[in-house]
Amino acid sequence: MRKRTIFVVLLVILASMLLSACTQKVECTDSIGCVTVAEGEPIHIAYAMVISGPDATLGTDSRNGVEIAIDDKGGKLLGHDIKFDGEDDQCSAEGGQAAGTKLAADPTIVAIIGTSCSSAARVAMPLWSTAGFTVISASNTAVDLTLAGNENQHPGYLRTAHSDKVQGAAAARFVYEELGLTKAATIHDGSIYAEQLQQVFADTFKELGGTITAQESVSPDQTDMSGVLTSIASGAPEFIYHPIFIAAGTQLILQARQTPGLENVIQMGADGMFSPDVMNGAGEAVEGVYVSSPDFTAFGTDYNEKFLPAYEAKFGSVPVSIFHAHAYDAFNMLYACIEEVAQGDKDGGEVLIGRQALRDCMYATKDFKGLTGNLTCTPTGDCADPKIAVYMYHTGQYPPEKVWP
């Protein structure tokens, strides 16, 4: 009888100890703080993407990619609902400032997927970095954002998109080696993205042996391109590279066809012009225009057999831009790291998510199996497994036809 009493007492003590351990509140020891997610509260991941105006397909398409990733996870993370909302970065510095300020003031945000455009990231990222956020973009491609020591490279920033040092060089090789052209002009719109991309193209093209006849600029909202195009025509280029966005890019396509000396000159944009809006806006003039962009054909069976059918079923169309798969991968990388670093009750109870711990986990990502390839992050946030292709537009057909490699 005495032995039985002692055994019961020990069981009670053990149960009390276990209960105490389970209910003991976890304290935050993270160097830049934690996000506390209470039982019953959602885990908040925000976005900053362009969802209005002429470039809206770029951001909408990426947001769609994230929504499919959330669906694939059943809308849950660590037993909590996933809250996914955000702000319009307007694909501009002004939009990035507004979105950056608003999101930086929300301490419930664990991480941000965005921005769509590099010009927005440049002004938003200092605010988000100071706030302790982890930020991962599916479509920023400007070289300086992940360049060590650059004033525009900030702690907490990563991207699944390629760097334009890859895309610009690929475009130059295509023009010089595949098309056999030796005289090219470039046009940018003053954005970080376009200015840096055309410069990488120009530098590589000259290294290969080509000549850059002109490097001109327009503004994103410019409608009369006659002055720039007449100036370019005086140098008699065989090719014009204008890696800008939809509105100005469409006007360049149309007006170059009407400029004496440029009627038959080959034109090429980049991923910022990969949209049905370019095809529709340029009409017959779009025939034969090239764009460089990620290579869909290299994405594999999961992309073709699972992701694309899910996209069409959910949104009623084929993808409307180019970075949806990169956004899908960005969300899944965040999901995996939040699962790894969270402390507390990981089955729907209160959890703490260390902000520096999340950053450290993201930067340590290695051989992550994504739709876009095997992703491994550098210390400054380049995570892409870049595969660049060149596509050709045909009148009334979307997406454009892959022609290289």
Give CA–CA dist 154/135, Å, rounded.
10
Residue 44 bridge partners (DSSP): 83, 109
State both tokens at 371: 């739709």
Q: In order of start, what are the domains of the chain with their CATH numbers?
A: 34-163+299-386 (3.40.50.2300), 165-295+389-404 (3.40.50.2300)
Q: Confidence band (pLDDT; 50, 70, 90) for 22?
A: very low
* ∠ CA 390-278-273, rounded to 5°: 45
Above pLDDT 90, what percent of the chain? Answer: 92
Q: For residue range 197-206, list pLDDT tens digits in order.
A: 999 999 999 9
The residue among 76 and 26 whose pLDDT is bigger is 76
Measured distance between the N- and C-terminal CA atoms of the chain, rounded to whole angstroms: 83
Identify residue 99 by its one-letter amino acid code. A
Q: For residue range 216-226, list pLDDT tens digits in order.
A: 999 999 999 99
- Of the given ranges (12-21, 72-81, 100-109), which has the lowest mean pLDDT? 12-21
* Residue 344, H or E segment: strand 343-344
Residues 349-375, buried b or exposed e (16+ Cβ, 10 A)?
A: bbbbbbbbbbbebbbebeebebbbbeb
What phi, psi does 332 have (nearest 5°)?
Answer: -65, -30
Residue 21 predicted with pLDDT over 90: no
Q: Confidence band (pLDDT; 50, 70, 90) for 300?
A: confident
3-state secondary structure at position 100: helix
Give CA–CA dist 218/269, Å, rounded.
14
3-state secondary structure at position 401: strand
Give CA–CA dist 322/319, Å, rounded.
7
Evaluate if pTM is beyond 0.85: yes
Q: What is the DSSP code string of 204-253?
A: HHHHHT-EEEEEEE--TT----HHHHHHHHTT--SEEE----HHHHHHHH
Q: For residue range 39-87, list pLDDT tens digits in order.
A: 999 999 999 999 999 999 999 999 999 999 999 999 999 999 999 999 9
Residue 11 predicted with pLDDT over 70: no
Strand order across the 109-114 sheet: 76-77, 80-88, 43-49, 109-114, 134-137, 157-159
